Structure 1
């Protein structure tokens, strides 16, 4: 009897990350409402995502030091348990102090929680290849993870707003603590298969680097970055991720609202329709990739390039369109192409480096992408004010098509067998 393609530990990983993402959405919504009620300042509320992004960027940078000392399931357990305990502290503090609670204390706890959360996505994506038993299962696993991420984003923000409105912000924090507790509990079921290569490498590294701890730490911190630069396939894929992140920031709420008002001549209700259609499209896209996993087979590169071509072209048409219903259909169609590109690119990255080095590579990429996203928000906002919102979306489409051309130009790198087994 053949072993299942997706193992039981994978489903525990999938469940714990879905629960953790749902808890994140709930507590961000509840805290945003609390901060707005207390200060009436959008700037204060906007500090929340900025703090989270900065903490996750810092966490991603030092994650290799933790990865070299602990197994990935242990890291996830520490992260989820730490966030659960810190969140209980936050909820109790807010309950006891009410309107007298210090925003500095609240933001400090948010920063520390986000720091703990910073290594969960690299650890999760690095664990996925270790918890599937067949190459085809990798694409299926990535599709399931992407679908759950998008469902939480799509349904979570709307439902969390309703929950906060119905039971209040403080009760929502109690519910969030329960969800965080579930996420931590499910983490206990994630068991990483024994890997003799990992143990041997760790022992050898400890012997070689014991005399000079400072050099050892610097080597560990930079190992993933060096591998990305040295391996052509990883370098190309990382560049494509960076370009996607530069253009992808145009779907942030403020930009989509400006486009709806200026280009489509509609009000805030159409802003909601556009957001809902975009997330619905990405959920449908993830399910489509899951259904087509057997058809795609190992043709990850072709699928990724088709996704990029479709997404870039539809974004350009969307930018030039002035009809609301047409815009709605275009955004809905973008989702499947975006997911086809993202899921297959993630799968290619996972297959471009050994399982031992993958967490360090993903940590380096996560740090870079957090930084690029922050920069992109500022740059795109300036470009929108100077050249107009329509030209900003055209630029985003151009960036995606540029990444497509780079992928086509670097076609040989994707078929280099050595690139697929790089171990640094």
Structure 2
């Protein structure tokens, strides 16, 4: 596989998203510290991530209307520039008002930024197949993006904590504004090939002619992605697997992992940090592994995804039953490669299953649905933790992943039925 499969606009897209993700981590850390320092309320601080998910869900619902009006690079530029301007306003406001800041206004600006961010990931993932010179490079491109996402998560939280501690929350926000500005500037280099609007990129599944022929009313535009997911067995299956997996995935949110470390492992907060670091290190390693074996995976995306889910589910079950801290570190380190094998191949399967013209709408619908599922999962898992106990909660998460695996095994016929001639799933 040659690196020429990845075009210059793809590298601009990769860079702008990495910078934007880094800015997100910085500003969330800085704002969380600021809110905690001034309100001394954990509820106020915890409200921010929930509000961000809600805003992104609402944004995904109306994104199809914007996708019909703007080209993907223009929409990405609008999102990044809008976030940059809003964040500059937020940073300046906090600098001028200090402790007198009205947090209703702060949260309103965060909501607006999250709303703009809601169509960034669907637009990015829909752009990737258009910016890859050959379909064989698609898995490699997704692996690179996943690696950079995980590196930002892995290094970002630790570094942002140091930056906030050294500079203070308010100056950190000004640094973040500069990073957002760089992200917006790099977006100017994301140019969609002219032929992308004229030619249909080959996919493993033919587009649904009945959907494509439907009248382009506003309601049709808003619901088109949802209809395609429902009518295509392959997409319906992948989305259902995603939902089941997401229901259990929320157990890796900080509060649950801390409770597990304290209750099951009998350790303090320092081991909570070790567990988180080991998990992110594993996901970074997993992304690099998928990148290295992308040629070997070839078109066997379904098999690779199912192997990833099986390994992740089994390791999660062992982790839940384990009481030794060092073994727990090894287990979460091993989970990362299996998790990435599952996630990257599932994303690539979705990109290859839908015509590039409707892919953004499909991804927007999926993003809205998964944001809603994640919010519900957080609330449900919190209640179940009180009832079942933290160990059983992780066992439940393992069962859900293995259930999603079972759904994939039972429904694999959908991939054979919709595969292009010669495709090997």
TM over 0.5, shorter chain: yes
Whether the 8 Å contact between 2:29 and 2:161 is mirrored in structure 1 is yes
Corresponding position of 1:32: 32
Corresponding position of 2:379: 378
Query: Tell me, what secondary structure is at the counterpart of 2:5?
Result: coil
Q: 1:322 to 1:85 in 2, by over 3 A?
A: same
Q: 1:116 to 1:72 in 2, by over 3 A?
A: same
Report the Cα distance in structure 1 between the residues aligned to 2:376 and 2:212, rounded to whole angstroms.
37
Q: 1:79 to 1:330 in 2, by over 3 A?
A: same
Corresponding position of 2:291: 290
Report the Cα distance in structure 2 between the residues aligned to 1:5 and 1:19, rounded to whole angstroms.
23
Q: 1:361 to 1:164 in 2, by over 3 A?
A: same
- Show CA shifts across 1:161-209 (max 9, x none): 000000111110110000000000000000011234489x9xxx99985
Corresponding position of 2:204: none
**What does 1:53-202 correspond to in 2, within 5 Å?**
53-194=53-194, 195-197=196-198
Q: 1:144 to 1:64 in 2, by over 3 A?
A: same
Report the Cα distance in structure 2 between the residues aligned to 1:308 and 1:340, rounded to whole angstroms.
8
Corresponding position of 1:13: 13
Query: Tell me, what secondary structure is at the counterpart of 1:356?
Result: coil
> Normalising to structure 2: TM-score of the pair?
0.94
- CA RMSD in angstroms comes to 1.8
Report the Cα distance in structure 2 between the residues aligned to 1:335 and 1:196, rounded to whole angstroms.
37
Report the Cα distance in structure 2 between the residues aligned to 1:47 and 1:363, rounded to whole angstroms.
24
Q: After alignment, is 118-127 or 236-245 more displaced?
A: 236-245
Corresponding position of 1:236: 237
Matched, 1:337 2:320: no
Corresponding position of 2:391: 390
Report the Cα distance in structure 1 between the residues aligned to 2:173 and 2:269, rounded to whole angstroms.
28
Corresponding position of 1:50: 50
Report the Cα distance in structure 1 between the residues aligned to 2:54 and 2:38, rounded to whole angstroms.
24
Matched, 1:317 2:314: no
Whether the 8 Å contact between 1:36 and 1:45 is mirrored in structure 2 is yes
Corresponding position of 2:275: 274
Q: 1:84 to 1:265 in 2, by over 3 A?
A: same
Cα displacement (A) at 1:417: 3.0
Report the Cα distance in structure 1 between the residues aligned to 2:280 and 2:222, rounded to whole angstroms.
35
Query: Tell me, what secondary structure is at the counterpart of 1:351?
Result: helix
Q: After alignment, is 311-320 or 131-140 more displaced?
A: 131-140
Report the Cα distance in structure 2 between the residues aligned to 1:208 and 1:350, rounded to whole angstroms.
22
**What is the number of residues matched between the two proteins?**
410
- Show CA shifts across 1:341-374 (max 9, x none): 0000000000110000100000000000000000
Report the Cα distance in structure 1 between the residues aligned to 2:363 and 2:249, rounded to whole angstroms.
19
> Normalising to structure 1: TM-score of the pair?
0.94
Q: 1:335 to 1:258 in 2, by over 3 A?
A: same
Whether the 8 Å contact between 1:232 and 1:419 is mirrored in structure 2 is no
Cα displacement (A) at 1:256: 0.5
Corresponding position of 1:328: 329
Cα displacement (A) at 1:136: 1.9
Question: Where does the alignment leave 5 or more consecutive residues of structure 2 unmatched?
Answer: 201-206
Corresponding position of 1:213: none
Cα displacement (A) at 1:78: 0.2
Corresponding position of 1:220: 221
Whether the 8 Å contact between 1:352 and 1:419 is mirrored in structure 2 is no
- Show CA shifts across 1:101-132 (max 9, x none): 10011000000000000000000000000010
Corresponding position of 1:367: 368
Cα displacement (A) at 1:407: 0.6
Report the Cα distance in structure 1 between the residues aligned to 2:341 and 2:128, rounded to whole angstroms.
18
Report the Cα distance in structure 2 between the residues aligned to 1:209 and 1:349, rounded to whole angstroms.
25
